[in-house]
Amino acid sequence: MKKKEPSRAKKIISRLITIISVSVFLYAAYGLSDVLIDYYKNRQALSSMQDIYYNVDSEDENRKPDEVRSGFDELLKENDEVVGWITMNGTQIDYPILQSDNNTDYLYRDYNNRETRAGSIFLDFRNDITTENKNTVVYGHRMKDGSMFQHLTKYMDEDFLSEHQTFEFDTLYESYEAEIFSVYNTLTDFNYIQTDFSDKEKYGDLLKKMKNKSRIKTDVNIDSDDQIITLSTCDYELDENEGRLVVHAKLKKI
């Protein structure tokens, strides 16, 4: 018996499905390539900044207290909103820190003021690097290629934290060793980014809460006479919009 030929309508529907599938694939591929290009450009920009920062010949031995430290001079020529640098061994975190008069400018802008998904690592606008802030707050995105603050997740591992409990934090004028005392997930309703305190008691109370929240217990002693640095990035464990991953460290001038 002769097989029935597919009807004209079925052929048209089949072709439409094929066209739609190919279109969806091409659109997705275009979107993915756009993301990959953005990642590539971001890595190139960061690599360029690292070259500028580390390839300096001058020394800081005879530098006056109010003079900018070597390494930052050239960076400031490119962007005068550079205020520091953060380096965390065992991670990709080795970046300049920027600061504007708000906490939105560098969410999606890089060091060259180019629009990018990765944004920049930036200091809370309420902080002032020329004074001794009680809580210095630094923000950054978590990018899928491991860049920016994605590798803060490594500090949720007890073994990694014990081997990398300190990191370097430099400002234009000072250099600090930062010793991690707390790592945890939280929601934005916990005010871990508070920068001003009416008295030492209120600051001390916040420090206790920060330490008690830690997923990993540390033996770092912390009190209201200490300065700390807070690193904050998005996290999806508790909530995809309000969730945050936070790392706190005690600062010691080098």
Active site residues: 234
DSSP string, the chain: -PPPPPPHHHHHHHHHHHHHHHHHHHHHHHHHHHHHHHHHHHHHHHHHHHHHHH-----STT--TTSPPTTSHHHHHH-TTEEEEEE-TTSS-EEEEE--SSSSTTTSB-TTS-B-TT---EE-TT--TTS--SEEEEE--B-TTS-BTGGGGGGGSHHHHHHS-EEEEEESS-EEEEEEEEEEEEETTS-TT----SSHHHHHHHHHHHHHH-SS-------TT--EEEEEEE--SS-TTTEEEEEEEEEEE-
**10 with 79: CB under 8 angstroms?**
no
The amino acid at 92: Q
Give CA torsion, residues 57, 132, 163, 95, to 10 deg.
Answer: -50
